[in-house]
Chains A and B, each alone.
Chain A
């Protein structure tokens, strides 16, 4: 037997398939197909959690996604600990381990429950009032305490070992909700041949047909009809049926996000299955069949375990075969709770009494209840529930006052009526309208190509819902371009029907009472809190919501919003629509980060770019650094070397013999066409028309505001062909910048731009022996200084493959950059490496490259410039064509601030103590004795130890820097002030003789 409260004659689960599970260390037996909630209830367990603020004992309110109370922790193993799982949704599997949250030391005895007694401290707005002062106490005292006391489960502390998948899908008709209306709409749409997706959040379809025993469709009971219809839909090629799938967000242009829970219900999912799958569906038409959610009654202590929605008790009985008590009371303001009482009574459960707020209701369910001998009390209210860890009684009073009577019960079923689920409609930016007669918000003005059907549209009754849904499904398919439906509409033979109910606090929880009558269970918001918010000046429901936190918990107020709104409206003395409904936002229910991130994590988070020479560097012990998406060899340590030693050795070797450097990541763009030179004239500050083919020039690119945007060496291969290089990080934006001007401002120029970064591997060979290393491998290029001077380029062959051979230098040494097709990059590198070994060459990385260029005062855009540096500031005025009449940035350069005196200029810095290496970013002051905050006149942009200079070197941007040559300035640091001298930017080989050395 799977629990003392299991009723063998009721429910649809097979008693034979048991599943063992544990809750808070205690073992229980349930049945396959149970939820954790139904399995616990079958074992008589109602107490499953403590509330967020007051730590009040809580049980199950519902049997579905709207559950505010029964949040538990599910633990599969050390890394798989999921907090805040709704026990009403979690399906049972053999071996499931669950525990309660927000209690210490135990669920039955919780120290935090003192908050319940001290509750005046925690009333509405307490966050805003209580913890305001002193400010510093927030970090050290209030926040940690509040977080510890208000814990909602424990996050896993290990990386998530599960994997998640993601799919895009397109369809003609997307039907959201698989109850009677959703199924009817899907059938109608599917029969036209349209592509249909039908999704429902539950494990099985049917919606309220899962508990409505009175429904008969096409000669079958409602649930049986639903299963047959789903089987039919699953058999159709044009239909995809998704169960356990929640539509959590409705976005622009009928784009809907859904999460399918693939394996959380399985005992051992294995690694083949993702835990969840994200569906991103673009639908031509959407049918919303999201149903309605029952509301609770707002009365004193309505949160005691054992008090739940009437429909929940009914589903536990009719679907799971579980009685929620042995002696059950009912408190209602509409008919639907009667059906629950009738079903339980027929299953042998005692119904202590039905308490109905209405004065003289009539109808078949009332007659039937009376005929079954159930005591019915009209015009009366339950003013209080007794019991603490479990409800023990309900106290009844005539609704206008009078004698009290206490009835012993072990459960209370409540129903204040049903709220249409307009969440997704609202997310689609549709505007809801208030129906004054039925006191509910229903879809009003649509913003997208969707339609609401059934209960979520305020349509009452099964027959009317199916009619509406079937017609809407057929129309949606037709509007999406399909043919006319050729099926037959399902015929409703019998149904249950009810509507109305009440909103707001029940008598006994009115403005004159100080009782705890809960509106929002998850955030512990009472009717009194909402009234208090109004009394303290909140007028808009948005303010009331934030002040009280009503509806702001993870359940997003699915059961509480309408009650809260009604109480606020009543207190304000305004009609409900004037107070307004808060906006519903995605997600409908919480979505895991895993589902959203999917496979895009770890190595798949961002693409990794590796050069053709990467494997060689890896094999030779390179340490890599990330430069954007690129992996670049940083330095090549030999055994026993730290970074410092390796970089010193590499720097010296380049200037002594030669070094090989992988420069493949350099951005490369080919500018081709009859107007290529004209285009270059406009995009760079330099003159290009007169640059001879075969020659190179260092180019500077500005933005229109006159600030340096990028730089690089440009080789002219032919009159109509430029090989442009950019910074490694700047390549994509430079390409975008060039395309922008070419397409929109200079479309008359006949030019083509091609990114060739990935096509050419680049091997820099630098140093006095560089020519000796390259020359034996080159064919068809005269390597003499006369034929191939500094800053020139030739096309020919190296190692038998095509090359663009640049004579250029970023080290100040005689240097070459060998461009070869990327596929040959590693082979040519290896050939050059072998040749280099004869000449004492070394491989060097980006760190040595940085040091070597700084020794020569060559800038790095983005390091020595920051988007506010002009060519003049950087000492590069020589690169701006003075006779040019236009280029991008020409006007910006003459702006008043850009020509003003005292701008920060790039200079060299030498520390007085040559051993001290400055910190990059360190601030510079003229007088270190001045009061703090000091006037800062510049900062260090580049700083290194230079083994070649035998001292530290640095570049800095300093106000009026070039007029301060030889001046002593100061760099105040936490450990003392560093004295520096302003110098020129070139620290090594000032005459530049080594370029031909």
Chain B
């Protein structure tokens, strides 16, 4: 069972307390009704599914209930880092994972 660090609780907690909530950094348009078909497709349907580093949303659902973002390596299943919702996508990752 993985330990995941909740950036709000500032603690590593067991995986059972968390729930994945899909890919991160996909912003909802401020002018949603005016989006083109292509833009809506990108927003709603297209996901990156990388082999390696993925940026995704998690919720500490059985803890503080906050949504936050995490960087995870899909090959090793290791969490590289976690950060609060609304914070920018980190430009540098700790541990220099390629």
Contact = CB atoms under 8 A, between A and B. Distances in A.
B37 A885 contact: no
B39 to A, nearest CB: 9
A890 B32 contact: yes
A252 B76 CA distance: 10
A267 interface: no
B40 A744 contact: no
Interface in A199-217: none
A429 B32 CA distance: 46
A255 interface: yes
A298 B66 CA distance: 60
B82 to A, nearest CB: 14
Give the bracket for the number of chain A residues in contact with chain B: 20 to 34
Residue among A280, A736, A744 with most chain B CB within 10 A: A744
Contacts of B61: 736
Interface residues of B, number: 24
Contact of A744 (B77, B78, B85): B85
A739 B67 contact: yes
A528 to B, nearest CB: 39
B28 A745 contact: yes
Interface in B58-84: 59, 61, 65-67, 76-78
A891 B39 CA distance: 11
Contacts, number: 49
Given A744-B57, A890-B32, A252 B86 contact: no
Contacts of A446: none
A363 B28 CA distance: 77
A891 B3 contact: no
A704 interface: yes
Given A253-B3, A892-B44, A739 B33 contact: no
Contacts of A736: 59, 61
Given A252-B77, A739-B67, A745-B28, A891 B33 contact: yes
Interface string A514-530: 00000000000000000
Nearest to B29: A891
Contact of A253 (B2, B33, B40, B59): B2
Nearest to B36: A891
Contact of B37 (A705, A739, A896): A896
Nearest to A743: B67
Name the prevailing secondary structure of the A interface residues: mixed
A890 B34 CA distance: 10
A280 B1 contact: yes
A251 interface: yes
Given A704-B44, A743-B67, A744-B85, A891 B1 contact: no
A886 B77 contact: no
Interface string A118-146: 00000000000000000000000000000
Given A743-B85, A745-B28, A747-B86, A252 B1 contact: yes
Nearest to B28: A745
Contacts of B37: 895-896
A618 interface: no
B66 A743 contact: yes
A740 interface: yes
B35 interface: yes
22 contacts: A251-B1, A252-B77, A252-B78, A253-B2, A282-B3, A704-B28, A705-B44, A739-B65, A740-B21, A740-B59, A740-B67, A743-B85, A745-B28, A885-B33, A890-B32, A890-B33, A891-B35, A892-B40, A892-B44, A895-B37, A895-B40, A896-B37
Interface of A: 251-253, 255, 280, 282, 429, 704-705, 736, 739-740, 743-745, 747, 885-886, 890-892, 894-896
| Interface pairs A-B: 8 shortest CB-CB | A743-B67, A745-B28, A891-B32, A890-B33, A253-B3, A744-B85, A891-B35, A252-B2
Interface of B: 1-3, 21, 28-29, 32-33, 35, 37, 40, 43-44, 57, 59, 61, 65-67, 76-78, 85-86
Given A704-B28, A890-B32, A892-B40, 5 more contacts: A251-B1, A252-B2, A255-B1, A891-B32, A891-B40
